[in-house]
Amino acid sequence: MDEKQKKHTESKQQQHTTAKTKEKTNEKSAVLDITTESEYQSLKEAYEKIEQKCNNALSLAREYKADMERMKERAKTIEEEKMKKVTENLVIKLLPVLDNLSIASDNLIDLQIKKGFLLILEQFTQILAEMGVEQIREIGEFDPNIHEAISTIPGEKSNTIAQVLKHGYKINNKVIRPTMVVIYK
């Protein structure tokens, strides 16, 4: 056999093999098409169920996340309230010390010692101010929300403050100790 015939024979064999492969591929495709079409509906339903479960899980995850955010915010609020209460209780316990420092500085004769007491008193009131504590201003009319009338005296304009016995204080606009006053009646 010469070279030409050999190539021709090989070419024929190749064509035959290619035709058989195409035939087998077409048979497989036809089987797949039949299988795909017969199972398409069940696969679609399975996909939709899985998709629904995923959507439900995602929705649930979002709800849990929102719940966690609310819980964090609530915990933060509770912590802030606790801190305010602790600060308030501490300030209430420190106010008598402030009163005693003030009385002591008023009654000191030695100017150097008095100067030292006044510096301590100023530093103490500054620290309290940084904590949100402010002294209630006692000028004007008696206000039962911020004043406590210890006694009354006859005099000038009724229901006005005659004398301050003990200063009152607020912390964050909440009265923690009313000003003790004598009022005119």
Q: Taking the chain (185 residues) in consecutive chunks of 10 residues, what is each chunk's mean pLDDT?
A: 64 63 56 62 90 95 96 97 94 94 89 91 94 87 92 87 92 93 91
Write down the pLDDT at residue 40.
85
Q: Please, what are the domains in the chain?
A: 3-131 (no CATH), 133-185 (2.30.22.10)
Q: What is the residue type of 143?
A: D
Tokens linked to 38: 């017969």
Contacts with 80 (C-beta within 8 Å, 6 or more apart), sequence order: none
Write down the pLDDT at residue 12.
65
Write down the pLDDT at residue 42.
86
Q: How far apart are CA 127 and CA 173, in angstroms?
A: 17
Write down the pLDDT at residue 140.
82
Model-level pTM greater than 0.75? Answer: no
Write down the pLDDT at residue 33.
54
**Are the C-beta atoms of residues 129 and 171 closer than 8 Å to each other?**
no
Write down the pLDDT at residue 155.
84
Q: How far apart are CA 167 and CA 181, in angstroms?
A: 9
Write down the pLDDT at residue 15.
65
